[in-house]
């Protein structure tokens, strides 16, 4: 088939909503990189100043600007892959004649080590054994544990409309559209206690009500499927095996808030998921469950998938909105919040995949049912992505309030090779570490926040007692330093300074080193403009709290010449 011309690509996307990213992807895929000619053509076609477009394109990891770009393998250097063979795989690919480059975690910590090559994601330990495949299904829930979003996910064919509907799928949307007011739908979600599962934990019913009440049209539902947090890989599983659950949840949110358009902002690193989602959207449209006049009512909802291009900060909701709008993906200043000034400055719901996928079962079974799934006073469930030094890594839907030790040892088999657990991360990397007696927490925000951390999106990486926690912290901080968008000073400089201290620079006595790192931590926490700069110092803070002896050896063990000449 002849290749599409520049003009054909532009004509395909120019009149579509949020056209910049898909148009750039079309050129990138066609040419294997983004040439200067392509960028000039896109800048002119979409009326974007070329300097702005150049700055935006080079901000993303996966848009290549040199000719061999798309064909050059990129290997995960995240904390789990780094201890599970990233170096071996790099050497193996070099021996096979490739020029592999490092990349941040692409969300497959349960299948180390991932490589992106030519737009495909493969996993394995050597060049000759790399394979691609869908997200692994979750292990069966322990006896007596009731699930919400995973309840039907293991049924063969669940991702198809026929099987999904055969199991009662789209009953919630049908009930809402044919027999409930928008306000009644919001009321059920509100009473269920469902809170955001993307990190911040904002009550979902309150968010939906704020958008419903906000003036301005058209309103928008944005599904945050950026999942860039290292150690998190739950949203990929939900989208791969339950795409209709997400679509139904988005349609319910649209009905409840009076929204008519929606986007799934999907991270670049999930290429197979694009086809799965677009296939499911086409099925739903053909069945009258999306599009104009849904279920023969006057409710209409248009849903599109938009692919990111590799930037952790695009998971922050206002960066995401800027990215979607074709702007440079810096976080916006808040307030105003997206509920009133979101996509195109109009009222917008931004919700995580897991949050939206929880809505249909809650509508079917009721608010009390969902509340009752949690332990003690806690409402509902949370999917935890578990990886690292653990016998059975994977995604687990746990009752909120489950003891962490029960998940680690009873559900997931504990650490392999008779070692003991030295530390775990919380919220992927963003919550820093828990260790020692503080591993005795329950999986709910109050319990984990009382230890100076947070549950967030639910990524937990396990490190056994053979791991060097200075190295783990340094590699984790390197991630934040690389992903800092650079908009504000405390985060841009602070993350770099913390990396240097973990590399061996800084004051020569342990007391002075700890004082300086603590000072950096506090300034970053108080003055960074968004969650990235506020969360990164939790790593160094918890390192100092739990591993003072290792910190002492780190500072004492440096040879002459390690003191920093640089100023923080």
Ligand X SMILES: Cc1cc2nc3c(=O)[nH]c(=O)nc-3n(C[C@H](O)[C@H](O)[C@H](O)COP(=O)(O)O)c2cc1C
Which residues contact ligand SF4 (rule: CB under 6 A)? Answer: 313, 331, 484-488, 491-492, 528-530, 532-533
Comparing CB distances to ligand SF4, the nearer of 405 and 523 is: 523
Least distance from ligand X to the Cβ atom of residue 532, Å: 4
Beta strands in 62-212 (DSSP E): 74-76, 101-103, 114-117, 120-123
Q: Which partner from the list ligand X, ligand SF4, none does 202 bind, CB cut-off 5 to 8 Å by kind?
A: ligand X
Comparing CB distances to ligand X, the nearer of 200 and 274 is: 200
Bridge partner residues of 425 (DSSP): 433
Least distance from ligand X to the Cβ atom of residue 173, Å: 19
Q: Which partner from the list ligand SF4, ligand X, none does 369 bind, CB cut-off 5 to 8 Å by kind?
A: none
Q: Which partner from the list ligand SF4, ligand X, none does 528 bind, CB cut-off 5 to 8 Å by kind?
A: ligand SF4
Q: Which partner from the list ligand X, ligand SF4, none does 350 bind, CB cut-off 5 to 8 Å by kind?
A: ligand X
Please compute, for residue 393, the number of CA atoms within 13 A of its CA located in the half-sphere on the CB side.
25
Bridge partner residues of 460 (DSSP): 386
Comparing CB distances to ligand SF4, the nearer of 331 and 399 is: 331
By the criterion CB under 6 A, which residues form the site for ligand X? 196-200, 202, 224, 226-229, 313, 315-317, 350-352, 355, 530-532
Q: Which partner from the list ligand X, ligand SF4, none does 227 bind, CB cut-off 5 to 8 Å by kind?
A: ligand X
* 335: preceding bond cis by omega (within 30 degrees): yes
Q: Which partner from the list ligand SF4, ligand X, none does 533 bind, CB cut-off 5 to 8 Å by kind?
A: ligand SF4
Least distance from ligand X to the Cβ atom of residue 189, Å: 11
Least distance from ligand SF4 to the Cβ atom of residue 332, Å: 9
Q: Which partner from the list ligand X, ligand SF4, none does 491 bind, CB cut-off 5 to 8 Å by kind?
A: ligand SF4
Residue 434's SS3 state is strand
CA–CA gap between residue 455 and residue 283 (Å, rounded): 35
Q: Which partner from the list ligand SF4, ligand X, none does 487 bind, CB cut-off 5 to 8 Å by kind?
A: ligand SF4
Least distance from ligand SF4 to the Cβ atom of residue 491, Å: 3
Comparing CB distances to ligand SF4, the nearer of 351 and 528 is: 528
DSSP state of 325: T
CA angle 484, 490, 491 (to 5 degrees): 15
Comparing CB distances to ligand SF4, the nearer of 340 and 534 is: 534
Comparing CB distances to ligand X, the nearer of 135 and 351 is: 351
DSSP state letters, 1-39: -PPPPHHHHHHHHTTSSS-HHHHHHHHHHHHSS--HHHH
Least distance from ligand X to the Cβ atom of residue 338, Å: 9
Residue 140 is encoded by which pair of tokens? Answer: 């069966």
CA–CA gap between residue 43 and residue 61 (Å, rounded): 20
Q: Burial of 138 by CB count in 10 Å (0-12 exposed, 13-18 middle, 19+ buried)? A: buried
Least distance from ligand SF4 to the Cβ atom of residue 94, Å: 33
Comparing CB distances to ligand SF4, the nearer of 176 and 491 is: 491
Least distance from ligand SF4 to the Cβ atom of residue 333, Å: 9
Least distance from ligand SF4 to the Cβ atom of residue 423, Å: 25
Q: Which partner from the list ligand X, ligand SF4, none does 198 bind, CB cut-off 5 to 8 Å by kind?
A: ligand X
CA–CA gap between residue 300 and residue 277 (Å, rounded): 19
CA–CA gap between residue 125 and residue 131 (Å, rounded): 10
Least distance from ligand SF4 to the Cβ atom of residue 316, Å: 7
Comparing CB distances to ligand X, the nearer of 169 and 205 is: 205
The C-alpha R_g of the chain, in whole angstroms, comes to 23
CA–CA gap between residue 113 and residue 361 (Å, rounded): 34
Comparing CB distances to ligand SF4, the nearer of 398 and 530 is: 530
Q: Is 395 left (phi over 0), alpha (psi -120 to 50) or beta?
A: beta
Residue 17 is encoded by which pair of tokens? Answer: 């909503």
CA–CA gap between residue 506 and residue 567 (Å, rounded): 9
Q: Which partner from the list ligand SF4, ligand X, none does 486 bind, CB cut-off 5 to 8 Å by kind?
A: ligand SF4
Comparing CB distances to ligand X, the nearer of 226 and 464 is: 226
CA–CA gap between residue 349 and residue 198 (Å, rounded): 13
Q: Are 23 and 42 in contact (CB under 8 A)?
A: yes
């Amino acid at each position: 088939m002849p290749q599409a011309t520049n003009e054909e690509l532009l004509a395909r996307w120019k009149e579509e909503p949020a056209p910049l990213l898909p148009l750039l992807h079309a050129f990138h895929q066609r040419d294997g990189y983004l040439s200067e000619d392509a960028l000039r053509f896109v800048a002119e076609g979409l009326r974007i100043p070329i300097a702005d477009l150049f700055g935006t394109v080079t901000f993303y990891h996966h848009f290549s600007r040199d000719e061999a770009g798309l064909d050059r393998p990129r290997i995960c250097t995240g904390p789990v892959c780094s201890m599970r063979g990233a170096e071996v795989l790099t050497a193996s690919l070099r021996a096979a004649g490739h020029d592999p480059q490092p990349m941040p975690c692409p969300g497959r910590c349960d299948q180390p080590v991932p490589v992106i090559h030519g737009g495909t994601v493969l996993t394995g330990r050597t060049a000759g054994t790399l394979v691609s495949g869908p997200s692994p299904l979750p292990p069966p829930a322990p006896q007596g544990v009731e699930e919400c979003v995973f309840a039907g996910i293991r049924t063969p064919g669940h991702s198809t409309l026929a099987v999904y509907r055969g199991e009662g799928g789209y009953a919630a949307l049908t009930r809402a559209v044919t027999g409930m007011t928008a306000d009644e739908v919001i009321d059920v979600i509100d009473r269920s206690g469902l809170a955001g599962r993307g990190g911040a934990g904002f009550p979902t019913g309150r968010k939906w009500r704020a958008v419903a009440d906000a003036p301005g049209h058209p309103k928008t539902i944005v599904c945050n499927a950026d999942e860039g947090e290292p150690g998190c890989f739950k949203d990929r599983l939900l989208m791969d095996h339950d795409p209709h659950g997400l679509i139904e949840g988005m349609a319910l949110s649209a009905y409840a808030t009076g929204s008519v358009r929606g986007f799934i902002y999907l991270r670049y690193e999930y290429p197979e998921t694009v086809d799965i989602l677009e296939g499911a959207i086409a099925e739903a449209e053909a069945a009258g469950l999306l599009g104009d006049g849904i279920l023969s009512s006057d409710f209409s909802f248009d849903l599109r998938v938009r692919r990111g291009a590799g930037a952790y900060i695009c998971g922050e909701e206002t960066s995401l909105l800027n990215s979607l709008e074709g702007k440079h993906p810096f976080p916006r200043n808040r307030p105003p919040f997206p509920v009133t000034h979101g996509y195109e400055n109009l009222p917008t719901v931004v919700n995580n995949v897991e949050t939206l996928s929880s809505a249909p079962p809650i509508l079917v079974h009721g608010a009390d049912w969902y509340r009752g799934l949690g332990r003690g006073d806690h409402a509902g469930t949370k999917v935890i992505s578990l990886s690292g030094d653990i016998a059975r890594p994977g995604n687990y839907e746990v009752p909120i309030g489950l003891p962490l030790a029960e998940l680690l040892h009873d559900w997931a088999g504990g650490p392999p090779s008779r070692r003991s657990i030295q530390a775990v991360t919380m919220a992927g990397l963003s919550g820093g570490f828990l260790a020692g007696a503080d591993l005795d927490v329950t999986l709910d925000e109050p319990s984990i926040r009382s230890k100076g951390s947070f549950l967030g999106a639910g990524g937990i990486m396990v490190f056994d007692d053979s791991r060097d926690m200075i190295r783990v912290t340094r590699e984790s901080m390197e991630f934040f330093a690389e992903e800092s968008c650079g908009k504000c000073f405390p985060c841009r400089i602070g993350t770099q300074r913390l990396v240097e201290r973990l590399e061996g620079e800084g004051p020569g006595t342990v007391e002075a080193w700890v004082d300086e790192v603590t000072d950096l931590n506090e300034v970053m926490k108080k003055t960074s403009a968004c969650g990235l700069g506020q969360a990164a110092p939790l790593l160094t803070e918890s390192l100092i709290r739990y591993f003072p002896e290792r910190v002492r050896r780190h500072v004492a063990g440096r040879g002459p010449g390690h003191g920093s000449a640089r100023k923080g």
